[in-house]
Chains A and B, each alone.
Chain A
């Protein structure tokens, strides 16, 4: 039987940074991953002459060497920065409602506000006030929490206490009149999965601040390059990764973790286990009901599962210019009603009421596709529930039907797109369920309602020795999950030292 200091379940972003932090800290660690490649969401696949990026559209938190973002510092400490080539993206985003709205924003505060004022001259004052608020609120958040002020109180951080629990919509309504302007400022709500009426203002402020100040980035080789580099770091530091090795059960004796059992029936001993699998899989599938403390059931019950996504990965036989694609990140929307778009996420179908994002990777870096071609992804959020109702025998036909509907929407903006498709892969919520193992194919963990922010739902240890890391126990997206694993790895290291 093998014995380790720590076992990590899953080689997603958080599992990999936790593993790298532990291996580098001298712990004897093994990462067990169901698939044959590291990354979870952060991966790629090949079709024909294309390598498709699965999940990463815009990486936050990198910043420049002169002004490093928090993620750059984590990756630096993990020793992978020097093996990767990060590229800043020149666009914040291009947001469109055909015939009504067409604005390209840059990751620069002055230029972004100027562009918005140019399009909405009557709202100039509100625009300045809104960005001022975003920056000041977020400045307070950084002071209070990132720098861990021991003495956080209302007088020192008035805006945080005022806005900490406010929905984004209320703040938008305070500042703006034109619904088009509100829409132009907030397409990033889809990065969190909740419309402005339900999303916390602080979460949007954090995204705008992070992407404008530290710029959106991508990297050569896509997110798979990052995953592979982290996995390599684990191995170089003496850790192990085992692929094709699903964990079936977490072993608990006398209320504390003692190891895991793989699906093949092998027992691996460790007194610290980090689960990068979903919180539901961890507590509901890998543990027996009587091993799970009542508090966990309470936590689970109060939350709801986030949407999954419907994605078309396209390899096109023309360069972006020839197809009329000029920006890397495009939000193609049908209207200004985000609540309707959110409601539509429960429906399998795609029509003019659904918004979508189109990323053209080749514009970020030409090595994303062979010379003379482009790699493009079209993505829209969809809950998994409606897809679970499709009978298996109809699944393939349904995939094509919805893909067709999505292409029709995209062709409103990029006519003739479909006549240039050389390779196409369709990912539905079922695809995400298959590759991530998440309930209903969720890609953002639990929904991040204000009531589920860390203020009300901290990531607590419920079983001695069992840590959870990743998108189900904190912020979602690349930066938060990579940081979550790193912090968890450090916490495990501290415990290991304590035990010695």
Chain B
């Protein structure tokens, strides 16, 4: 606006005085240089540098890696959160989310417990190669599979399968360390007795804590086994935890376990509001998911052309994100479960399969944006990748 107009406004001189006063007395924002980044770095650093300080053999197929900071301190986390551990295996740069198993009250290290997945790229690498003293990078802790003190109440039922015990271990250890007034029933399913992770620690804690009940369930036990057998049915859960009405039920484990247990819980009238489930990675055999197109095998291959990038061949049964990583063009990623949106890419042509229940924004759906970590090619594709690592 022209200055002469401004000067004619009623009260102009008074306001001008305020301007002049502020120019003398106001805050000097040059001190803000770097302030936002420095503060966020304490709470949500972009990257953590970690060193393996100790390795514990848990079961024949599982080890715990104790990770300490290379420099500085570890950011705080809430029990149930994960970090995405970054690795390079066979020239492939990738990452895997791993729930922190140690208690949040333990500020000196994060324990990461890794179970071998037959044929799995990263779990085998970690279990077979990583030694004490090795350095690894990770994301900061993230995830919303956590206890909400405003909503979840005091009676908690944890249903774990296999390596899905890890977030619960952090929660249970926190309740134990801090003497929290929460009553926990842990129902923990495994294939065999040998697969049960943390069995001794859980048995000791359950004996010591009046507010922890521990019920291992073994699908195919040996002859000497005396505990609960078979699947984690609703009846078994109710037997362990009592009436499920009013309890908060948490689930973490393989996709097959969810399908089975969710139906069992719903049949007992447990509402969506009383169920929390961790997204624990892509389905094990995606072609068995409901809605998988008939006539397409997981081993079928399709051509994926990346806009302004190479054309690659993609296996139907492998998440697109993994295929991109193998081709050396990884978008950023973190949860590898469709939740964090980091690996968002746009399907310009062709069709992908996305398992039911994977969250997607309405507008992303309209324009063909998908989360590569939970999308499978079922036709030739053209992909726009607008974010690179």
**Interface residues of A, Cβ cutoff 8 Å to B:** 36-37, 44-49, 51, 145, 152-154, 160-166, 220-222, 224-225, 227-229, 232, 235, 240-245, 280-281, 284-285, 289, 297-298, 300-304, 317, 367, 388, 392-393, 395-396, 400, 403-404, 407, 418, 420-422, 424-425, 430, 433-434, 437-439, 449-451, 454-456, 458
Contacts and interface: CB of A to CB of B under 8 A. Distances in A.
Given A161-B9, A392-B76, A430-B43, A244 B36 contact: no
B76 A403 contact: no
A224 B362 CA distance: 9
Interface of B: 1-2, 5-6, 8-12, 14-16, 18-19, 22-23, 26-30, 32-37, 39-40, 42-44, 75-76, 78, 107, 144, 148-151, 271-273, 331-332, 339, 341-344, 359-364, 366-367, 369, 384, 386-389
A484 B43 CA distance: 33
B9 to A, nearest CB: 4
B387 A221 contact: no
Contacts of A37: 341, 344
Given A220-B362, A241-B386, A36 B332 contact: yes
A317 B149 contact: no
Contacts of A46: 339, 341, 359-361
A231 B332 CA distance: 19
Contact of A422 (B6, B272, B331): B272
Contacts of B8: 153-154, 161
Contacts of A421: 150-151, 273
B32 A284 contact: yes
A439 B32 contact: yes
A163 B371 CA distance: 53
A439 B23 contact: no
20 contacts: A36-B387, A47-B144, A47-B359, A49-B272, A152-B5, A161-B9, A165-B9, A222-B362, A227-B363, A241-B386, A244-B342, A300-B26, A301-B22, A301-B27, A392-B75, A404-B149, A407-B150, A439-B29, A439-B32, A439-B35
B170 to A, nearest CB: 13
B27 A304 contact: yes
A222 B364 CA distance: 12
B236 to A, nearest CB: 26
Contacts of A297: 30
Contacts of A44: 361, 363
B75 A298 contact: no
B43 A422 contact: no
Contacts of B342: 36, 244
B39 A161 contact: no
Nearest to A302: B22
A420 B331 CA distance: 38
A220 B365 CA distance: 13
A367 B273 contact: no
B181 to A, nearest CB: 15
A307 to B, nearest CB: 15
Contact of B388 (A244, A301, A418): A244
A301 B26 contact: yes
Contacts of A433: 36, 39-40
Given A37-B341, A243-B387, A404-B150, A225 B44 contact: no
B364 to A, nearest CB: 7
A237 to B, nearest CB: 14
A395 B76 contact: yes
B163 to A, nearest CB: 23
Given A36-B341, A424-B148, A433-B40, A455 B26 contact: no
